[in-house]
C-alpha cells in the first residue's frame, strides 16, 4: 500500500463520520488548546514579571527591619529589634562590592501648591536613588547629594503629580507644601507606569531625613543596596549580614536579594504553569479516552470491512496500522485545532491585557502536536489490536 493511499484511506474513514470525528477531536483540541494557551501565557507571564522586577535595575539587595522566620515576620512587634538607620546605610556603603545605598521611608501625605492639593505617596530617599533605581529625569535634576542628616528641603515630582499640580505651567523652582512644610521643586520624573497595580507616577521624592521628620519616625523602612555586576549577590548579602549583626548585636533584620526574589516568583509561576499544564493533561486524557471509545465503536461497526480486507490479502499488522493511523489522524486533527485555539486564545488575551504579552514558542507548539499524536497512538492501540486480532471468517460473518 502506497503511503499516500494509506493516508487517504484513514482520512476518508475519519471524514466519513464527520460529526463523530469532530466531537472526538474536540476533546483533544481543548486539551492541546489549554496546554498551548497556558504555556504561551505562562511564558509571557514569566517574561512580563521578569521585566517588571528588573526595571529598577538589577544587582539589588534590600534590607528590612525584623527577621523573617518560617513563622512569619516577628520583628515589628518585638521591642528588642533595633531600627534600621541612615547610619546603618552609611556603614554598608563601605563594603567594597556595594556601589551605593538608598535609605527608604515611605508614607502618604497631602502635597499642595498654589491652591491645588493632592494626596500622594511620599518617598524619603537619598540622592543615590536615581542611579540605583535607574530613574529617568524629565526636567531639572534629582535630589542633590546633601549630607544625609542635613539635607535641604527639595522635592522631585512624579509625572502624574507634576501634571495634577502644575498642568502645563512651570514646576521647576516652585514651592510646594508637604504636610505643612515647604519644599522647593528641583526636578520631575519621566513616566514610569505601574508596578503590580501601584502607580509609580503618583509619587514624590524627598530626602530621607525630611521624610523621617514628616512622618515622625526615627527608623527606615528599607535599605536598598546596589552591588557591582560581577559580584555574587549571596556573598554580598553575607557581608551585609555580618556588618549589621556587628552593629545591632543580633540578626534583627532580613535581607532579600533580587535574585532570590525572582527565584521565588519563578517558583510560583512554575507551579502555576504546572497546575495549568495538569488541567491540559487531564483534558488530553479525556480526549484520549474519547478516541479509544470512538475507535472501539468503529472497530465494532466495521468488523465486516476488516474481514473483507483480510480476505483481500491484508495482513494483521496492516489492519493494526490502518486503525492506529485513524486514531492518530483524529488526534492530529484535534491537535491542530487545539494549536489554533491556543494561539488564537493567547492572541486575544494579549489584546485584552496588553501588559501581559503572550508568547507561543514554535518548539512548544510542535511538542503539543507531537503530544496529541502520542495520545492518539496510545488511545488507538487497544482498538487497533482488537481489529487486527479478528478471525477473518468471524469478521465476515459479522455483517
Residues that bind another protein (CB under 8 A): 1-2, 5, 9, 12-13, 16, 304-305, 307-316, 318, 391-393, 396, 399
CB 332 → another protein: shortest distance, Å? 20
Residue (193 or 304) nearer to another protein, CB = 304
C-beta contacts of 76-83 below 8 A and 24+ residues apart? 80/250, 80/252, 81/252, 82/248, 82/249, 82/252, 83/218, 83/219, 83/220
Residue (9 or 347) nearer to another protein, CB = 9
Residue (277 or 392) nearer to another protein, CB = 392
CB 29 → another protein: shortest distance, Å? 24
Residue (8 or 175) nearer to another protein, CB = 8
Residue (223 or 299) nearer to another protein, CB = 299
Residue (176 or 388) nearer to another protein, CB = 388
CB 30 → another protein: shortest distance, Å? 27
CB 328 → another protein: shortest distance, Å? 19
CB 314 → another protein: shortest distance, Å? 6
User: Could you tell me whether strands 203-207 and 194-195 are parallel, antiparallel, or unpaired per DSSP bridges?
Assistant: unpaired
| Rounded (10°) angle between helices 258-301 and 362-388 | 30
Backbone φ, ψ for residue 68 (5° rounding): -80, 115
> Which residue(s) pair with 156 in the sheet?
187, 205
Burial class (CB in 10 A: 0-12, 13-18, 19+), 380: buried
CB 291 within 8 A of CB 28: yes
- CA nearest neighbour of 51 among 352, 276, 199, 262: 262
CB 268 → another protein: shortest distance, Å? 52
Amino acid at each position: 500500500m502506497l503511503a499516500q493511499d494509506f493516508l487517504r484511506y484513514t482520512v476518508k474513514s475519519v471524514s466519513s463520520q464527520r460529526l463523530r470525528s469532530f466531537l472526538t477531536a474536540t476533546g483533544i483540541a481543548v486539551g492541546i488548546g489549554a496546554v498551548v494557551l497556558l504555556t504561551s501565557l505562562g511564558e509571557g507571564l514569566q517574561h512580563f514579571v521578569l521585566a517588571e522586577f528588573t526595571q529598577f535595575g538589577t544587582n539589588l539587595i534590600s534590607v528590612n527591619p525584623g527577621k523573617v522566620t518560617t513563622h512569619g515576620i516577628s520583628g515589628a512587634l518585638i521591642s528588642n529589634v533595633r531600627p534600621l538607620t541612615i547610619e546603618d546605610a552609611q556603614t554598608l556603603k563601605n563594603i567594597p562590592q556595594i556601589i551605593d545605598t538608598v535609605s527608604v521611608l515611605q508614607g502618604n501625605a497631602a502635597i499642595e501648591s498654589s491652591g491645588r492639593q493632592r494626596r500622594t505617596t511620599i518617598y524619603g530617599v537619598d540622592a543615590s536613588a536615581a542611579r540605583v533605581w535607574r530613574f529617568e529625569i524629565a526636567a531639572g535634576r534629582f535630589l542633590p547629594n546633601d549630607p544625609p542628616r542635613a539635607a535641604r528641603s527639595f522635592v522631585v515630582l512624579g509625572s502624574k503629580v507634576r501634571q495634577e499640580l502644575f498642568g502645563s505651567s512651570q514646576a521647576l523652582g516652585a514651592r510646594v507644601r508637604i504636610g505643612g512644610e515647604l519644599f522647593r521643586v528641583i526636578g520631575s520624573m519621566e513616566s514610569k507606569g505601574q508596578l503590580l497595580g501601584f502607580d509609580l507616577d503618583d509619587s514624590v521624592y524627598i530626602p530621607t531625613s525630611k521624610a523621617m521628620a514628616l512622618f515622625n519616625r526615627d527608623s527606615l523602612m528599607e535599605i536598598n543596596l546596589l552591588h557591582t555586576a560581577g559580584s555574587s549577590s549571596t556573598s554580598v548579602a553575607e557581608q551585609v549580614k555580618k556588618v549589621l549583626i556587628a552593629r545591632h548585636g543580633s540578626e534583627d533584620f532580613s535581607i532579600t536579594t533580587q535574585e532570590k526574589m525572582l527565584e521565588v516568583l519563578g517558583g510560583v509561576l512554575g507551579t502555576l504553569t504546572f497546575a495549568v499544564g495538569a488541567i491540559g493533561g487531564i483534558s488530553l486524557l479525556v480526549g484520549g479516552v474519547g478516541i479509544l471509545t470512538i475507535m472501539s465503536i468503529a472497530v465494532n461497526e466495521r468488523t465486516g470491512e476488516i474481514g473483507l480486507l483480510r480476505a483481500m490479502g491484508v495482513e494483521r499488522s496492516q489492519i493494526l496500522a490502518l486503525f492506529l493511523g485513524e486514531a492518530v489522524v483524529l488526534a492530529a486533527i484535534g491537535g491542530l485545532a487545539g494549536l489554533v485555539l491556543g494561539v488564537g486564545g493567547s492572541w486575544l488575551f494579549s489584546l485584552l491585557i496588553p501588559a501581559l504579552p503572550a508568547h507561543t514558542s514554535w518548539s512548544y507548539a510542535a511538542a503539543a502536536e507531537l503530544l496529541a499524536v502520542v495520545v492518539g497512538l496510545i488511545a488507538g492501540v487497544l482498538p487497533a489490536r482488537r481489529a487486527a486480532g479478528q478471525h477473518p471468517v468471524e469478521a465476515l460473518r459479522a455483517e
